[in-house]
Amino acid sequence: MQQPHVTVHCSDKNVEIEMEKLIQFKYFKKALNIGITSVLFEKKKIVENGINYIFYSYKIPELTVDCTESILLILLNTKLYTVHEFNDSVLELMIYIDMYQIPMYITYGGYGFVTEEHFWFVEYIKEQYPYLNPYSILQNSGFSYSYCFRNYNFTLISEGKPVLLKDMLECLEWYINEYDYSVNDKSLAKRVVKSIKYFNEHNPTKTKKYVTTETMSSFIREYNNSHKDFIQIWSRVDIDDYNNDVSEIYNEFIILDKLKLIDINQFEEKDKYLFKS
């Protein structure tokens, strides 16, 4: 029996897609409002010359999408999509992956990924969609280097550059409470803490919600715990770098205490989190 098709009205043309392919995706399945077994089939019995004929027919359902046919076919048929440059076509694809909740991944196929060189793309997303968080788009589109952009954004903010402050503030709670800091993060924890005073200038109410004595004392404790296993293989330079980061974090805690965000008197002494070289 021929598989039922759906007439999909794309932004540039109409195309017929197998229903079975579309209903693999929750968004399209809900839009079509059908189950895995189509209820659109209709059974008809016709009697001709004393012979019973059974006919099965179905009504071709319709679906309207905002993307082009080429984008739709990529969404339906691709699990991993490789880009070699960032442009409007890549952004369009990311938007529709996010909009239609497609479980696919985008990776970068160039020689190495230099975050600083490509960071303009994050700001470009914000320019094109000012009411959306560009990091939500990057994350939800499955872009494999989205974390690099976020981490670099903390570098900019920690230096006093108010780049995407509102959008990064939405990420702050996760970086304080859930992010698993590793030895490969290269002072990321320090940059996150140094950014807090700038978040507080931008939105003190929301910052106070995330930055408390409890969350920050847990933050430094977990940061220390995540690095303990490496003390035996670290060089003296590695240990010094770590200790310098902890010292700078505690200097920032003093600032946060003055801003009435935390009570530093309830923290463990800094020396508890320093490693002996």
The dihedral through the CA atoms of 212, 218, 221, 224 has a sign that is negative
**pTM of structure:** 0.84
Taking alpha carbons only, the member of 223, 139, 135 closest to residue 176 is 223
What's the pLDDT tens digit per position in 144-182? Answer: 999 999 999 999 999 999 999 999 999 999 999 999 887
Of 172, 175, 179, 245, the residue nearest 202 (C-alpha) = 172
Which residues partner with 254 through β-bridges? none
- Give me the residue spans of the domains in the chain: 5-64, 163-277
In angstroms, the CA 251 to CA 266 distance is 15
Q: Supply the angle between the helices 120-128 and 88-99 in degrees, to the nearest 10.
A: 60
Q: Cβ distance 136 to 111 under 8 Å?
A: no
Kindly state the tokens that stand for 125: 């997303």
Give residue-wise pLDDT tens across range 5-57.
Answer: 888 999 999 999 988 899 899 999 888 875 444 445 555 667 677 777 666 65
Report which residue type is found at 248: E
